Structure 1
Protein backbone atom coordinates (compact mmCIF):
# COMPACT_ATOMS: atom_id res chain seq x y z
CA UNK A 1 0.00 0.00 0.00
CA UNK A 2 2.85 2.41 0.79
CA UNK A 3 4.27 1.82 -2.70
CA UNK A 4 0.95 2.80 -4.27
CA UNK A 5 0.81 5.96 -2.18
CA UNK A 6 4.37 6.84 -3.24
CA UNK A 7 3.42 6.25 -6.89
CA UNK A 8 0.36 8.49 -6.68
CA UNK A 9 2.25 11.19 -4.77
CA UNK A 10 4.93 11.22 -7.49
CA UNK A 11 2.28 11.60 -10.19
CA UNK A 12 0.59 14.34 -8.17
CA UNK A 13 3.93 16.20 -8.00
CA UNK A 14 3.96 16.26 -11.83
CA UNK A 15 0.35 17.50 -11.79
CA UNK A 16 1.13 20.32 -9.34
CA UNK A 17 4.26 21.30 -11.30
CA UNK A 18 2.32 21.52 -14.57
CA UNK A 19 -0.33 23.66 -12.91
CA UNK A 20 2.20 26.00 -11.30
CA UNK A 21 3.91 26.43 -14.70
CA UNK A 22 0.53 27.16 -16.35
CA UNK A 23 1.16 24.12 -18.59
CA UNK A 24 -2.43 22.95 -18.89
CA UNK A 25 -1.70 20.89 -22.02
CA UNK A 26 0.99 19.02 -20.09
CA UNK A 27 -1.39 18.63 -17.16
CA UNK A 28 -4.08 17.22 -19.47
CA UNK A 29 -1.61 14.62 -20.78
CA UNK A 30 -1.52 13.15 -17.25
CA UNK A 31 -5.11 12.01 -17.92
CA UNK A 32 -6.24 9.13 -20.15
CA UNK A 33 -7.46 10.15 -23.60
CA UNK A 34 -11.02 9.18 -22.65
CA UNK A 35 -10.90 10.58 -19.11
CA UNK A 36 -13.91 11.97 -17.30
CA UNK A 37 -13.58 15.02 -15.05
CA UNK A 38 -16.44 16.03 -12.76
CA UNK A 39 -15.79 19.39 -11.09
CA UNK A 40 -18.07 21.10 -8.58
CA UNK A 41 -21.09 22.72 -10.24
CA UNK A 42 -20.41 21.40 -13.72
CA UNK A 43 -21.39 18.62 -16.07
CA UNK A 44 -19.00 15.74 -16.68
CA UNK A 45 -16.38 16.61 -19.28
CA UNK A 46 -14.96 13.77 -21.38
CA UNK A 47 -11.49 13.71 -22.93
CA UNK A 48 -8.31 15.65 -22.26
CA UNK A 49 -9.93 18.93 -23.26
CA UNK A 50 -11.90 18.67 -19.99
CA UNK A 51 -9.04 18.99 -17.50
CA UNK A 52 -7.34 21.55 -19.73
CA UNK A 53 -10.51 23.68 -19.67
CA UNK A 54 -11.18 23.23 -15.94
CA UNK A 55 -7.67 24.04 -14.76
CA UNK A 56 -7.18 26.86 -17.29
CA UNK A 57 -10.32 28.37 -15.75
CA UNK A 58 -8.82 28.13 -12.27
CA UNK A 59 -5.65 29.82 -13.51
CA UNK A 60 -7.68 32.56 -15.22
CA UNK A 61 -9.49 33.03 -11.90
CA UNK A 62 -6.21 33.85 -10.14
CA UNK A 63 -5.18 30.45 -8.75
CA UNK A 64 -1.40 29.99 -8.99
CA UNK A 65 -0.68 26.92 -6.89
CA UNK A 66 -2.55 23.71 -6.32
CA UNK A 67 -1.64 21.56 -3.32
CA UNK A 68 -2.75 17.92 -3.29
CA UNK A 69 -2.63 15.85 -0.09
CA UNK A 70 -3.11 12.11 -0.46
CA UNK A 71 -5.21 10.60 2.32
CA UNK A 72 -6.02 7.10 1.05
CA UNK A 73 -4.88 4.93 -1.85
CA UNK A 74 -5.81 1.38 -2.72
CA UNK A 75 -5.75 -1.19 -5.51
CA UNK A 76 -8.85 -2.01 -7.54
CA UNK A 77 -7.19 -4.69 -9.67
CA UNK A 78 -3.88 -4.89 -11.49
CA UNK A 79 -4.44 -1.81 -13.65
CA UNK A 80 -6.67 0.44 -11.52
CA UNK A 81 -5.97 2.40 -8.30
CA UNK A 82 -8.27 4.67 -6.32
CA UNK A 83 -7.13 7.81 -4.56
CA UNK A 84 -9.06 9.84 -1.95
CA UNK A 85 -7.43 13.15 -1.16
CA UNK A 86 -7.79 16.87 -0.48
CA UNK A 87 -6.81 19.93 -2.48
CA UNK A 88 -6.03 23.54 -1.72
CA UNK A 89 -5.91 26.22 -4.42
CA UNK A 90 -3.95 29.37 -3.60
CA UNK A 91 -3.54 32.76 -5.27
CA UNK A 92 -0.25 34.55 -5.93
CA UNK A 93 -0.19 36.05 -2.42
CA UNK A 94 -0.77 32.64 -0.81
CA UNK A 95 -4.38 33.18 0.19
CA UNK A 96 -6.71 30.21 -0.20
CA UNK A 97 -8.97 30.56 -3.24
CA UNK A 98 -10.63 27.17 -2.72
CA UNK A 99 -10.22 23.95 -0.76
CA UNK A 100 -12.01 20.66 -1.06
CA UNK A 101 -11.77 16.93 -1.54
CA UNK A 102 -11.53 14.59 -4.49
CA UNK A 103 -11.50 11.00 -5.66
CA UNK A 104 -9.46 9.86 -8.65
CA UNK A 105 -9.55 6.50 -10.35
CA UNK A 106 -6.11 5.94 -11.85
CA UNK A 107 -5.74 3.62 -14.85
CA UNK A 108 -2.60 1.92 -16.14
CA UNK A 109 -2.18 2.39 -19.88
CA UNK A 110 0.92 1.10 -21.68
CA UNK A 111 2.80 0.68 -18.41
CA UNK A 112 2.12 4.22 -17.15
CA UNK A 113 -0.51 5.48 -14.70
CA UNK A 114 -3.01 8.16 -15.76
CA UNK A 115 -5.92 9.92 -14.10
CA UNK A 116 -9.01 8.32 -15.64
CA UNK A 117 -11.96 9.53 -13.56
CA UNK A 118 -11.57 12.70 -11.48
CA UNK A 119 -14.34 14.06 -9.29
CA UNK A 120 -13.82 16.93 -6.89
CA UNK A 121 -15.98 19.06 -4.65
CA UNK A 122 -15.31 22.39 -3.02
CA UNK A 123 -15.75 22.74 0.73
CA UNK A 124 -17.28 26.18 0.08
CA UNK A 125 -21.03 26.40 0.49
Structure 2
Protein backbone atom coordinates (compact mmCIF):
# COMPACT_ATOMS: atom_id res chain seq x y z
CA UNK A 1 0.00 0.00 0.00
CA UNK A 2 2.91 2.38 0.68
CA UNK A 3 4.12 1.94 -2.93
CA UNK A 4 0.63 2.69 -4.23
CA UNK A 5 0.36 5.83 -2.11
CA UNK A 6 3.79 7.00 -3.29
CA UNK A 7 2.85 6.41 -6.94
CA UNK A 8 -0.39 8.41 -6.64
CA UNK A 9 1.26 11.20 -4.68
CA UNK A 10 3.92 11.45 -7.42
CA UNK A 11 1.11 11.81 -9.99
CA UNK A 12 -0.44 14.53 -7.82
CA UNK A 13 2.90 16.38 -7.77
CA UNK A 14 2.97 16.27 -11.58
CA UNK A 15 -0.65 17.49 -11.67
CA UNK A 16 0.13 20.47 -9.43
CA UNK A 17 3.32 21.36 -11.34
CA UNK A 18 1.58 21.22 -14.73
CA UNK A 19 -1.35 23.29 -13.46
CA UNK A 20 0.97 25.94 -11.99
CA UNK A 21 2.87 26.10 -15.32
CA UNK A 22 -0.45 26.51 -17.22
CA UNK A 23 0.27 23.20 -18.97
CA UNK A 24 -3.30 21.92 -19.11
CA UNK A 25 -2.39 19.42 -21.82
CA UNK A 26 0.13 17.96 -19.36
CA UNK A 27 -2.58 17.78 -16.69
CA UNK A 28 -5.05 16.20 -19.13
CA UNK A 29 -2.46 13.54 -19.99
CA UNK A 30 -2.70 12.34 -16.37
CA UNK A 31 -6.27 11.22 -17.17
CA UNK A 32 -7.47 8.21 -19.16
CA UNK A 33 -8.62 8.82 -22.74
CA UNK A 34 -12.23 8.21 -21.66
CA UNK A 35 -12.08 10.15 -18.38
CA UNK A 36 -14.90 12.02 -16.70
CA UNK A 37 -14.22 15.33 -14.91
CA UNK A 38 -16.93 16.69 -12.60
CA UNK A 39 -16.27 20.18 -11.24
CA UNK A 40 -18.71 22.19 -9.14
CA UNK A 41 -20.90 24.35 -11.39
CA UNK A 42 -19.99 22.55 -14.66
CA UNK A 43 -21.49 19.77 -16.69
CA UNK A 44 -19.50 16.54 -16.70
CA UNK A 45 -16.54 16.81 -19.06
CA UNK A 46 -15.79 13.67 -21.10
CA UNK A 47 -12.32 12.82 -22.38
CA UNK A 48 -8.92 14.45 -22.25
CA UNK A 49 -9.69 17.29 -24.66
CA UNK A 50 -12.74 18.44 -22.67
CA UNK A 51 -10.77 18.05 -19.43
CA UNK A 52 -7.98 20.21 -20.82
CA UNK A 53 -10.47 22.93 -21.82
CA UNK A 54 -12.25 22.85 -18.44
CA UNK A 55 -8.97 23.19 -16.55
CA UNK A 56 -7.88 26.00 -18.89
CA UNK A 57 -11.12 27.72 -17.90
CA UNK A 58 -10.11 27.53 -14.24
CA UNK A 59 -6.79 29.14 -15.14
CA UNK A 60 -8.59 31.84 -17.14
CA UNK A 61 -10.79 32.55 -14.11
CA UNK A 62 -7.66 33.46 -12.11
CA UNK A 63 -6.63 30.22 -10.43
CA UNK A 64 -2.86 29.87 -10.67
CA UNK A 65 -1.99 27.11 -8.21
CA UNK A 66 -3.66 23.96 -6.99
CA UNK A 67 -2.66 22.21 -3.77
CA UNK A 68 -3.74 18.57 -3.44
CA UNK A 69 -3.50 16.77 -0.08
CA UNK A 70 -4.29 13.08 -0.28
CA UNK A 71 -6.31 11.99 2.73
CA UNK A 72 -7.18 8.40 1.85
CA UNK A 73 -6.23 5.91 -0.85
CA UNK A 74 -7.72 2.45 -1.14
CA UNK A 75 -8.15 -0.45 -3.54
CA UNK A 76 -11.33 -1.11 -5.48
CA UNK A 77 -9.85 -4.01 -7.42
CA UNK A 78 -6.49 -4.94 -8.89
CA UNK A 79 -6.46 -2.14 -11.46
CA UNK A 80 -8.75 0.46 -9.84
CA UNK A 81 -8.26 2.57 -6.71
CA UNK A 82 -9.96 5.54 -5.09
CA UNK A 83 -8.36 8.64 -3.63
CA UNK A 84 -9.99 11.20 -1.35
CA UNK A 85 -8.32 14.63 -1.43
CA UNK A 86 -8.56 18.05 0.20
CA UNK A 87 -7.72 20.82 -2.25
CA UNK A 88 -6.94 24.52 -2.18
CA UNK A 89 -6.71 26.77 -5.22
CA UNK A 90 -4.80 30.04 -5.17
CA UNK A 91 -4.70 33.19 -7.25
CA UNK A 92 -1.53 34.77 -8.65
CA UNK A 93 -0.89 36.74 -5.44
CA UNK A 94 -1.18 33.54 -3.39
CA UNK A 95 -4.55 34.28 -1.84
CA UNK A 96 -7.01 31.41 -1.51
CA UNK A 97 -9.50 31.20 -4.37
CA UNK A 98 -11.29 28.05 -3.25
CA UNK A 99 -11.13 25.20 -0.76
CA UNK A 100 -12.85 21.89 -1.26
CA UNK A 101 -12.67 18.15 -1.57
CA UNK A 102 -12.20 15.71 -4.39
CA UNK A 103 -12.74 12.06 -5.06
CA UNK A 104 -10.69 10.44 -7.77
CA UNK A 105 -11.02 6.99 -9.28
CA UNK A 106 -7.69 5.87 -10.74
CA UNK A 107 -7.29 3.11 -13.35
CA UNK A 108 -4.14 1.26 -14.23
CA UNK A 109 -3.56 1.35 -17.99
CA UNK A 110 -0.52 -0.49 -19.40
CA UNK A 111 1.02 -0.59 -15.93
CA UNK A 112 0.57 3.14 -15.19
CA UNK A 113 -2.05 4.92 -13.05
CA UNK A 114 -4.36 7.48 -14.68
CA UNK A 115 -7.35 9.40 -13.36
CA UNK A 116 -10.56 7.92 -14.76
CA UNK A 117 -13.23 9.81 -12.80
CA UNK A 118 -12.40 13.04 -10.97
CA UNK A 119 -15.00 14.87 -8.87
CA UNK A 120 -14.24 18.29 -7.34
CA UNK A 121 -16.64 19.88 -4.84
CA UNK A 122 -16.14 23.38 -3.49
CA UNK A 123 -16.77 24.00 0.21
CA UNK A 124 -18.28 27.38 -0.73
CA UNK A 125 -22.04 27.58 -0.37
Would you call these one fold, judging by a TM-score over 0.5?
yes
**2:112 matches 1:118:** no
Do the aligned partners of 1:36 and 1:50 also contact (CA within 8 Å) in 2? no
Map 1:93-108 → 2, pairs under 5 A: 93-108=93-108
Any gaps of 5 or more consecutive residues in structure 1?
none
How large is the RMSD of aligned CA atoms in angstroms?
0.9
Deviation of the 1:115 alpha carbon? 0.3
Query: Displacement, 1:88?
Result: 0.5
Contact 2:45/2:54 (<8 A) preserved: no
1:3 Cα deviation from its structure 2 partner: 2.2
**What is the match of residue 50 of structure 2?**
50
Partner SS state of residue 51, structure 1: helix
In the alignment, which residue of structure 2 is the partner of 1:76? 76
Q: Structure 2 unaligned runs (5+)?
A: none
TM-score normalised by L of structure 2: 0.96
Normalising to structure 1: TM-score of the pair? 0.96
**Larger deviation, residues 41-50 vs 80-89:** 41-50
Distance in 1 between residues matched to 2:75 and 2:3, nearest whole Å: 11
Contact 1:104 1:118 in 2 (8 A): yes
* 8 Å contact from structure 2 (residues 87, 102) kept in 1: yes
How many aligned positions are there? 125
- The Cα shift of 1:32 comes to 0.2
Match of 1:61 in 2: 61
